[in-house]
């Protein structure tokens, strides 16, 4: 564990534009391609995320049941999936936190971006993007997770040199 003092991390609302460097936001909005189907009954928000299973991988769908994290929360590690993307789509309709850093070298606390996602927004981390494991808030929450099943290691973890504190959402 670092002997350096932790830094306080700013929390910003999740938006497609702000998250674009890290992957996709999965939401029904007028900003994405959408069209009416089913004889007018249904609006299709189309092709929202680049799901990448990676070499010899298969796309799988799972459910993660996350325990609520309490705030203030200390971010002292990050992980990445170098081979494939990973998407989280909330099923419980509650907000959650998303912590990311650019793909590449191990992240430093000052590079972390923290987003507060609404309960109707999902995220898809592009392959290699550093992120913190699931950060559900308020209650136990279920998420549909779309990621890879296949050969080879696909989860690198790193301890942060300086912890980051999420004081409040
Ligand atoms: N380990 C695992 O499947 N979960 C993490 O990848 C995560 O991002 O929550
Ligand atoms: Ni992950």
Q: What is the pLDDT of residues 28-40, one digit of tens each?
A: 999 999 999 999 9
Q: Which of 64, 80, 97, when mutated, tests ligand 1's pocket best, judged by the most ligand atoms within 8 Å of its CB?
A: 64
Is 113 strand, coil or helix?
Answer: strand
**Two structure tokens written together for 139:** 């209650």
Binned at pLDDT 50, 70 and 90, residue 70 comes out as very high
What does the pLDDT read at residue 5? Answer: 86
Tell me the pLDDT band of 3, cut-offs 50, 70 and 90: low
pLDDT for 71: 97
Please give the pLDDT value at position 144.
98
**Residue 4 pLDDT grade (very low, low, confident, very high; cuts 50, 70, 90):** confident
CA-based torsion, 62, 124, 141, 66: positive or negative: positive
Q: What is the ipTM of this complex?
A: 0.94
CA-CA distance, 49 to 71, in Å (whole number)?
Answer: 30
pLDDT of res. 113: 98
Ligand 1 surroundings by CB, under 6 angstroms: 79, 86, 131, 133-134, 155
Q: Which residues of 78-104 are buried (b: 16+ CB within 10 A; e: fewer)?
A: bebbebbbbbbbbebebbbbbbbbebe
pLDDT digits (tens, 9 = 90+) for 85-136: 999 999 999 999 999 999 999 999 889 999 999 999 999 999 999 999 999 9
Question: Looking at per-residue confidence, does 74 or 5 come out higher?
Answer: 74
The domains of the chain, with CATH numbers, are 7-166 (2.60.120.480)
| pLDDT given for residue 2 in this prediction | 57
Q: Note the ligand closest to the C-alpha atom of 85.
A: 2
Contact 34, 28 (CB under 8 A): yes
Q: Whose CA is nearest to atom 9 of ligand 1?
A: 133
pLDDT tens-digit readout, 134-167: 999 989 999 999 999 999 999 999 999 999 999 9
């Amino acid at each position: 564990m670092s002997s350096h003092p932790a830094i306080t991390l700013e929390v910003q609302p999740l938006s497609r534009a702000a998250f674009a460097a890290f992957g996709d936001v999965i939401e029904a909005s007028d900003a994405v391609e959408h069209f009416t189907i089913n004889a007018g009954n249904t609006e299709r928000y189309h092709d929202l995320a680049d799901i990448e299973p990676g070499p010899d991988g298969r796309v799988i769908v799972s459910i993660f049941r996350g325990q609520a994290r309490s705030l203030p929360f200390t971010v002292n590690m990050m992980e990445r999936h170098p081979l494939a993307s990973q998407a989280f789509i909330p099923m419980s309709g509650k907000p959650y936190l998303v912590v990311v850093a650019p793909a590449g070298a191990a992240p430093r606390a000052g590079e972390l971006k923290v987003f507060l996602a609404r309960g109707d927004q999902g995220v898809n981390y592009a392959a290699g993007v550093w992120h913190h494991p699931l950060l559900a808030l308020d209650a136990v929450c279920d998420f549909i997770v779309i990621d890879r099943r296949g050969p080879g290691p696909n989860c690198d973890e790193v301890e942060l040199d300086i912890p980051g504190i999420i004081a409040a959402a």
